[in-house]
Chain A
């Protein structure tokens, strides 16, 4: 039997990863057929239980902020977000970010979340926020690299009793920009028949 050294094995893994990374395909949320994929991923990987209403709330109002990552036809990661007025600031919010365990460490999450943040920035958001478990070192490092600060600690925030950090990314004030940027709210979405969606409550549990 052939034996491989650690170095060779490592080199092989790197090679495979590089190949895999290039094979990842990113898609913006495209409709009902994507919903079960997102729900499956989140259900598997996140501790919080979400009802179907929560998923639809996000993907119907802000389909442009949700992305999916596919590897050879299999959905391996997703990001779900929203944006809206919050205490006089127009703010983006990253609600869920999931990448399947075997696919982590290849920049898929960074790519997913970067795509969402870009759309938020172009839509006139002043800042982006989210919560992450204090024990989730991977996520904290990822958001740190993107420029998020840990604005506060939320004591026993999650149902499982773990503290959270509220992370915030402040965009530079666009001094030369016109403030009348197109603000994509969810008004034109198809979810709400004959009713306007008013964004009043912040995303709080």
Chain B
């Protein structure tokens, strides 16, 4: 009954083989043989019973291992006990072969497989079981006689080190903690900081070898002193080229990472140049597959062409993924499938494109601009490494881009009078907290969508609380200033503006929270009605606050720059609603239209209903909007108000008052206002498409719905990520 021996707490239970006499008994202790005691205890145990401590709970049960079960026992010996044993057994020879051609081939295979490992690591597996499954990386000194391999291993280590430090600094890896766990792996070899000069020297040599083999025979004599890379002269050019693009890619990639770490975004421009070079080298690497594959004597590997991890298709020498299994604690060994070489190259292309978006960002000093940039960036679903670099850029030393104090940014965003920046108000405890909340918000927006949504759900409550605290604080602080003070006017303004801005952000967070639910596929079609309704009520509030803010900023601008007569002329224009608010209005119409259409379909056609044996739609509502409801966002909104506004929806009425038509009309009119803004033009086009399709669908259902019972309506996200398009089909 081996399973009755629980292994609790420290899983690495060592049984020291000590001679009892070697440890002397203490004053009140003596050595005793426990075998008889254990034997009799065993007889007492019935099948299924367990001796355990009081704290033995599910977590302890789940953490227990069954020794020698390959699914759980990560300590199980697969091939070698240790790196040293693997090396002794010739698993990682230096040189890889005494035949120089084979040596070069094998080195390229290692480079390719390492690239695949690196991409797999970035995608969320442990460093130990991916990049560091390379035995050569584990013993930095062993490769020193092999300049090519040595320099490549060095730049790999330095790159990993750089990536780990950015991700740990920014802490964007909340749920991806495996990423930064290095388990004492040699991430820093002696002299790794010199990796670029070494890489450069090797690159120089190979460039010369390439020139030598390409030189026409008449000039050969001049370059004769150059020893060729390998012995088969027909293949010299191909191998030189294959190596050069691989080395140059590493060089430029390392530069990209270094440039992006420079403070205040100073290295972004240079980083872009290196990104462009990286992408060019990746193209060359892809092209080299033809040459490398054709020189593969043993042809196809077992995994087939798509699964292979090298350009040549050969299995690389010097890797053993099981060696580090024991470093993968505290989880059972994860079944790791290393990405294919092709997929790895694609991953790096994507990563570089994402980094390029960050580098081409204009460091917008306006808060709204920052939010929009981050949201647009997240639409590309960047992976961890890219997101970490975004956050590194946004927040350095508690300042925006390491440059602008957050309070100054708030002042600008909330359209506060110029004097506020130096006003004592920023020392107020609640204002200090507000600054922290803004920083947290930016951090959260850089995390993966799943984590982000959960955190937004929580932080939205903090924003609500800070609003109440600020309101109190302002009343206290400004109430004390006597009403005759000149300051009074300014103070009232500051407090009004900040409060309005805080509310605006709160509703923005709420809307992002709701919309992310679509991206994460958290809503089922029978819940769309309530979700769109909630989006509708939140967006109305958001538009209201944004509008109010813009009215104030117009007022200030007007007072600043215009003479009386001109301002009179402009009076008509002043009454126009700003385009940003109108864009929100478009979304409001779409949300309202979808809510009513879904409600009418439910009321009249009995579709999209949530009927379960255990609960009702009310419970679904409570669960989905728990965070918002708890924070009263917006005030006085409940399941009852949702029911009241949707219970009487009828197709015949909503077709007359058609929200989709309004959305479409405004979207069309707005085109001229945003002609220089690519992202918003895309959004407008999407809105138009959704509105148009849904308008048509609504008419169709209304006219034919009752006549043709075979008519089916379903919703898909073919035009917009959050606003669904109705599709009507005969079943």
Q: Which residues of A contact B (CB under 8 A)?
A: 32, 35, 49-54, 56-57, 60, 82, 114, 117, 121, 134, 144-147, 149-156, 159-161, 163, 165, 168-172, 190-193, 195-201, 203-205
Give every chain A residue within 8 A of B522 (Cβ-Cβ): 149-153, 165
Q: Mark B307-331, 1 if CB is under 8 A from A, else 0.
A: 0000000000000000000000001
Q: Which residues of B contact A (CB under 8 A)?
A: 3, 6, 47-52, 54-55, 57-62, 64-66, 69, 71-72, 123-125, 175-176, 331-332, 334-335, 448-451, 453-454, 520-524, 527, 610, 612-616, 618-620, 622-624
Give every chain A residue within 8 A of B613 (Cβ-Cβ): 114, 146-147
Closest to B59 in A: A201
Given the interface contacts A32-B48, A170-B619, does A152 sit within 8 Å of B454 by beta carbon?
yes
Given the interface contacts A56-B50, A163-B450, does A49 sit within 8 Å of B72 by beta carbon?
yes
Closest to B614 in A: A147
- Whether the Cβ atoms of A155 and B524 lie closer than 8 Å is no
Closest to B610 in A: A147
Given the interface contacts A57-B61, A191-B50, does A152 sit within 8 Å of B450 by beta carbon?
yes
- Whether the Cβ atoms of B6 and A53 lie closer than 8 Å is yes
Complex Cα spacing A156 to B3, Å: 30
Closest to B618 in A: A172
- Whether the Cβ atoms of B620 and A149 lie closer than 8 Å is yes
Complex Cα spacing A121 to B65, Å: 33
20 more CB-based (< 8 A) A-B contacts, given A56-B61, A201-B59? A35-B48, A49-B69, A51-B65, A53-B3, A53-B60, A56-B48, A57-B58, A57-B61, A147-B619, A150-B524, A153-B453, A153-B522, A155-B175, A155-B448, A155-B451, A156-B176, A171-B619, A191-B48, A193-B49, A195-B52
Give the contacting residue for A155; candidates B61, B72, B450; CB below 8 A: B450
Closest to B613 in A: A146
- Whether the Cβ atoms of B175 and A204 lie closer than 8 Å is no
Give every chain B residue within 8 A of A146 (Cβ-Cβ): 612-614
- Whether the Cβ atoms of A205 and B619 lie closer than 8 Å is no
Give every chain B residue within 8 A of A52 (Cβ-Cβ): 3, 66
Closest to B65 in A: A51
Given the interface contacts A54-B58, A121-B614, does A153 sit within 8 Å of B72 by beta carbon?
no
- Whether the Cβ atoms of B453 and A152 lie closer than 8 Å is yes
Complex Cα spacing A191 to B46, Å: 10
Give every chain A residue within 8 A of B3 (Cβ-Cβ): 51-53
- Whether the Cβ atoms of B47 and A32 lie closer than 8 Å is yes
Complex Cα spacing A152 to B613, Å: 22
* Centre residue among B6, B331, B454, B618 by max chain A CB count within 10 A: B454
Give every chain B residue within 8 A of A134 (Cβ-Cβ): 521
Give every chain B residue within 8 A of A200 (Cβ-Cβ): 57
Report 20 cross-chain contacts, Cβ distance below 8 Å, ordered by A residue: A49-B69, A51-B3, A53-B60, A54-B62, A56-B61, A60-B48, A152-B450, A153-B522, A154-B450, A155-B175, A155-B450, A159-B334, A159-B335, A169-B614, A170-B623, A171-B615, A191-B50, A196-B54, A198-B55, A205-B331
Complex Cα spacing A70 to B304, Å: 42
Give every chain B residue within 8 A of A49 (Cβ-Cβ): 69, 71-72, 332
Give every chain B residue within 8 A of A32 (Cβ-Cβ): 47-48
Complex Cα spacing A192 to B175, Å: 34
Complex Cα spacing A50 to B72, Å: 8
Closest 6 CB pairs of A and B: A147-B612, A49-B71, A53-B61, A170-B619, A153-B450, A57-B61
- Whether the Cβ atoms of B61 and A172 lie closer than 8 Å is no
- Whether the Cβ atoms of A204 and B524 lie closer than 8 Å is no
Complex Cα spacing A154 to B62, Å: 19
Complex Cα spacing A199 to B622, Å: 26
Give every chain B residue within 8 A of A57 (Cβ-Cβ): 57-58, 61
- Whether the Cβ atoms of B59 and A51 lie closer than 8 Å is no
Give the Cβ gap from B532 to chain A, nearest Cβ, in Å: 16
Give the contacting residue for B66; candidates A51, A60, A198; CB below 8 A: A51
- Whether the Cβ atoms of B57 and A198 lie closer than 8 Å is yes
- Whether the Cβ atoms of B335 and A201 lie closer than 8 Å is no
Give every chain A residue within 8 A of B615 (Cβ-Cβ): 147, 169-172
Give the Cβ gap from A119 to chain B, nearest Cβ, in Å: 12
Give every chain A residue within 8 A of B622 (Cβ-Cβ): 170
Complex Cα spacing A190 to B45, Å: 12
Give every chain B residue within 8 A of A169 (Cβ-Cβ): 612, 614-615, 619
Give every chain A residue within 8 A of B65 (Cβ-Cβ): 51
- Whether the Cβ atoms of B524 and A53 lie closer than 8 Å is no
Closest to A161 in B: B124
Complex Cα spacing A152 to B523, Å: 10
Complex Cα spacing A170 to B619, Å: 6
- Whether the Cβ atoms of A153 and B520 lie closer than 8 Å is yes
Complex Cα spacing A195 to B53, Å: 8
Give every chain B residue within 8 A of A121 (Cβ-Cβ): 614
Complex Cα spacing A37 to B620, Å: 36
Give every chain B residue within 8 A of A147 (Cβ-Cβ): 610, 612-615, 619-620
Give every chain A residue within 8 A of B57 (Cβ-Cβ): 57, 197-201
Give the Cβ gap from A113 to chain B, nearest Cβ, in Å: 11
- Whether the Cβ atoms of A51 and B64 lie closer than 8 Å is yes
Complex Cα spacing A50 to B332, Å: 10
- Whether the Cβ atoms of A150 and B523 lie closer than 8 Å is yes
- Whether the Cβ atoms of A149 and B623 lie closer than 8 Å is yes
Complex Cα spacing A12 to B295, Å: 57
Give the Cβ gap from B344 to chain A, nearest Cβ, in Å: 16
Give every chain B residue within 8 A of A201 (Cβ-Cβ): 57-59
* Centre residue among A134, A144, A155 by max chain B CB count within 10 A: A155
Give the Cβ gap from B723 to chain A, nearest Cβ, in Å: 19
- Whether the Cβ atoms of B616 and A172 lie closer than 8 Å is yes
Given the interface contacts A144-B524, A146-B613, A201-B57, does A50 sit within 8 Å of B623 by beta carbon?
no
Give the Cβ gap from B248 to chain A, nearest Cβ, in Å: 32
Closest to A51 in B: B64
Give the Cβ gap from A122 to chain B, nearest Cβ, in Å: 12
Give every chain A residue within 8 A of B451 (Cβ-Cβ): 155
Complex Cα spacing A34 to B504, Å: 58
Give the Cβ gap from A91 to chain B, nearest Cβ, in Å: 13
Give every chain B residue within 8 A of A151 (Cβ-Cβ): 522, 623
Give every chain A residue within 8 A of B524 (Cβ-Cβ): 144, 149-150
Closest to A52 in B: B3
- Whether the Cβ atoms of B450 and A205 lie closer than 8 Å is no
- Whether the Cβ atoms of A149 and B50 lie closer than 8 Å is no
Complex Cα spacing A51 to B50, Å: 14
Complex Cα spacing A147 to B623, Å: 11
Give every chain A residue within 8 A of B55 (Cβ-Cβ): 198
Give the Cβ gap from A200 to chain B, nearest Cβ, in Å: 6
Closest to B120 in A: A161
Give every chain A residue within 8 A of B64 (Cβ-Cβ): 51, 53-54
* Centre residue among B72, B125, B613, B616 by max chain A CB count within 10 A: B613
Give every chain A residue within 8 A of B624 (Cβ-Cβ): 149
Give the contacting residue for A160; candidates B49, B335, B450; CB below 8 A: B335
Give the Cβ gap from A134 to chain B, nearest Cβ, in Å: 7
Given the interface contacts A32-B47, A134-B521, A150-B524, does A203 sit within 8 Å of B58 by beta carbon?
yes
Complex Cα spacing A144 to B614, Å: 11
- Whether the Cβ atoms of B521 and A172 lie closer than 8 Å is no
* Centre residue among A53, A159, A195 by max chain B CB count within 10 A: A53
Complex Cα spacing A14 to B691, Å: 43
Give the Cβ gap from B610 to chain A, nearest Cβ, in Å: 7
Complex Cα spacing A146 to B61, Å: 30
Complex Cα spacing A49 to B6, Å: 17
Closest to B522 in A: A150
Closest to A148 in B: B612
Complex Cα spacing A57 to B334, Å: 24
Complex Cα spacing A153 to B51, Å: 37
Complex Cα spacing A32 to B47, Å: 8
Complex Cα spacing A51 to B619, Å: 36
* Centre residue among A60, A145, A170, A192 by max chain B CB count within 10 A: A170
Give every chain A residue within 8 A of B71 (Cβ-Cβ): 49
Give the contacting residue for B124; candidates A156, A196, A204; CB below 8 A: A156
Give every chain B residue within 8 A of A163 (Cβ-Cβ): 450
Give every chain A residue within 8 A of B521 (Cβ-Cβ): 134, 150, 153
